[in-house]
A and B are shown apart, each in its own frame.
Chain A
Amino acid sequence: GESVGLHLPTLSVQEGDNSIINCAYSNSASDYFIWYKQESGKGPQFIIDIRSNMDKRQGQRVTVLLNKTVKHLSLQIAATQPGDSAVYFCAERGSNTGNQFYFGTGTSLTVIP
């Protein structure tokens, strides 16, 4: 099966600092990646996505970077706010698995006021 892993299970940052959450994936054929945010007691919520033909994609306060050479994905959150405290998951779509996505274990982000 697929293997999507995260380098750090927990991350604490000061409010206003930038956060970087990392993700490693194993399937070099994966063609699409999504970052989700999951707040306590809720379902995951889409943050940003990126296709494998891109290296970088920016959203509002978030940037996703994709390094296909080392099969690494990162999510950067600018000016982290207390409301950003949550668990963040990366998910990869293997290009040969239709709409199946494989989720990483998750990184718990805590923002210190």
Chain B
Amino acid sequence: NAGVTQTPKFRILKIGQSMTLQCAQDMNHNYMYWYRQDPGMGLKLIYYSVGAGITDKGEVPNGYNVSRSTTEDFPLRLELAAPSQTSVYFCASNWGQGSYEQYFGPGTRLTVT
């Protein structure tokens, strides 16, 4: 199993540009998550999904959108990128329903200038 994969690894955006961060998992997990991690800080939940077709906001959803059309994929969309969105983005997944250990991807380092 590849586990949780994320692309791209690095990206530089100009203010106002848009992009999609890709996340895929091959563990047949029901739950998927997007976090951001600012330097020297813990992870903040952006959005999560408990299954295909279902998404919900986390702590810091503003400026982001997600979709979950399949069990495997959970892309994160940034519209009108702002410098405040410079961060490292992690995707994670787990079974949910009593199994809470989250498996994380390697992260995407995004810089908005």
- A residues sitting closer than 8 Å to B (CB atoms) are 1, 4, 9, 32, 34, 41-46, 49, 89, 91, 93, 98-106
Q: Are B104 and A44 in contact (CB under 8 A)?
A: yes
A11 CA to B107 CA, complexed, in Å: 25
Q: Across the two chains, which residue of chain A brings its CB closest to B44? A: A103
Measured between C-beta atoms, what is the minimum distance from A62 to chain B in Å? 14
Across the interface, which residues of B come within 8 angstroms of A105, CB to CB? Answer: 40-42
Q: A43-B90, A89-B43 are in contact. Are A101 and B104 (CB under 8 A)?
A: no
Q: Do most interface residues of chain B lie in helix, strand or loop, or is the interface mixed?
A: strand
Identify the stretch in B13-21, B62-70, B71-79, B93-101 within 8 Å (CB) of chain A at 4 or more residues: B93-101
A1 CA to B90 CA, complexed, in Å: 21
Measured between C-beta atoms, what is the minimum distance from A86 to chain B in Å? 13
Q: A1-B59, A42-B106, A44-B104 are in contact. Are A100 and B48 (CB under 8 A)?
A: yes
Q: Choose among B31, B58, B59, B92 the residue that contacts A43 (Cβ–Cβ < 8 A).
A: B92
Q: Are B41 and A101 in contact (CB under 8 A)?
A: no
A101 CA to B96 CA, complexed, in Å: 12
B contacts with A, residue count (CB < 8 A): 26
Q: Choose among A45, A49, A103 the residue that contacts B43 (Cβ–Cβ < 8 A).
A: A103
Across the interface, which residues of B come within 8 angstroms of A1, CB to CB? Answer: 59
Across the interface, which residues of A come within 8 angstroms of B81, CB to CB? Answer: none
User: Which residues of chain B from 28 to 45 have a CB within 8 Å of any chain A CB?
Assistant: 31, 33, 35, 40-45
Q: A43-B92, A105-B42 are in contact. Are A99 and B100 (CB under 8 A)?
A: yes
Q: Are B90 and A44 in contact (CB under 8 A)?
A: yes
Does B24 lie at the interface of the complex (its beta carbon under 8 Å from any beta carbon of A)?
no
Q: Across the two chains, which residue of chain B brings its CB closest to A98? A: B50
Across the interface, which residues of A come within 8 angstroms of B31, CB to CB? Answer: 99
Apart from A43-B92, A101-B102: 19 A-B pairs, beta carbons within 8 A: A1-B59, A9-B40, A34-B100, A34-B101, A34-B102, A41-B107, A49-B101, A89-B43, A99-B33, A99-B50, A99-B94, A99-B96, A100-B45, A100-B58, A101-B45, A103-B42, A103-B43, A103-B44, A106-B42
